[in-house]
């Protein structure tokens, strides 16, 4: 049985819905420190998502030898290339959403599989988010309904709830938007015999 090195409810829900047997083991890594260091080195959204997914997978893999561990991460890059963090409070969420309003942004989701402390597989996918020019009234109503649930969400939205109303259009895989490139992951899990072919 695989291990999921993530506390994300949406990633758990995706694997459960796909019928994959797994256990959750939080990675217990300094994700914020790693992210700050990577940004200081000039690592952009794609590399950031990949490195954080690998960090999580390897951290759990070292503690659980012989097991396949899946780490995953998502990074939202604004139109200007700046990457956003999960909002610390409602005011930060409001500011991030205002910055996203009426523009196109990229959501990068990565998954990395590790075994015995080594990365053995990875996939990275990108979705393009076309955020509509929503009103301040909508923003207030949205935050009244969705805060604090969106505090754990990069981009301040849950696409499976009211967050879908933030967008005019989304290009790319629904699973990538939910936080993990699921179809490539399922293909690899079948290939290595972790799920039935």
Q: Are 72 and 14 in contact (CB under 8 A)?
A: no
Pick from 56, 52, 54: which is nearest to 75 by CA? 52
Among residues 30, 50, 73, 85, the one annotated as catalytic is 73
Q: Roughly what angle, to the nearest 10 degrees, separates helices 31-40 and 45-63?
A: 140
| Number of domains, the chain | 1
- CATH number, domain with residue 173: 3.90.950.10
196 in a domain, yes or no? no
155 in a domain, yes or no? yes
pLDDT for residue 7 = 86
181 in a domain, yes or no? yes
Distance separating alpha carbons of residues 186 and 144, to the nearest angstrom? 36
Q: What are the beta bridge partners of residue 125?
A: 109
- Which residue range(s) make up the domain with 98? 2-191
Distance separating alpha carbons of residues 58 and 196, to the nearest angstrom? 25
Dihedral of alpha carbons 43, 49, 54, 57, sign: positive
Distance separating alpha carbons of residues 174 and 169, to the nearest angstrom? 12
Q: Which residues of the chain have pLDDT under 70?
A: none
197 in a domain, yes or no? no
pLDDT for residue 128 = 98
168 is catalytic: no
Distance separating alpha carbons of residues 145 and 82, to the nearest angstrom? 27
The pTM (predicted TM-score) of the whole model is 0.95
């Amino acid at each position: 049985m695989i291990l999921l090195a993530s506390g994300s409810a949406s990633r758990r829900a995706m694997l459960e819905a796909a019928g994959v047997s797994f256990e959750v083991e939080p990675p217990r890594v300094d994700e914020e420190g790693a992210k700050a260091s990577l940004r200081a080195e000039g690592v952009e959204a794609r590399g950031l998502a990949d490195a954080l997914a690998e960090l999580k997978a390897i951290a759990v893999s070292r503690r659980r030898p012989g097991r396949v561990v899946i780490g995953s991460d998502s990074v939202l890059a604004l139109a200007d290339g700046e990457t956003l963090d999960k909002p610390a409070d409602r005011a930060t969420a409001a500011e991030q959403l205002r910055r996203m309003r009426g523009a196109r942004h990229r959501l990068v989701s990565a998954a990395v599989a590790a075994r015995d402390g080594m990365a053995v597989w990875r996939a990275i996918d990108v979705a393009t988010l076309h955020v509509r020019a929503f009103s301040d009234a909508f923003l207030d109503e949205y935050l009244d309904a969705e805060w604090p649930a969106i505090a754990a969400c990069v981009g301040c939205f849950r696409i499976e709830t009211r967050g879908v109303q933030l967008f005019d259009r989304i290009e790319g895989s629904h699973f990538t938007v939910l936080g993990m490139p699921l179809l490539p992951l399922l293909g690899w899990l079948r290939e290595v015999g972790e799920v039935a072919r």
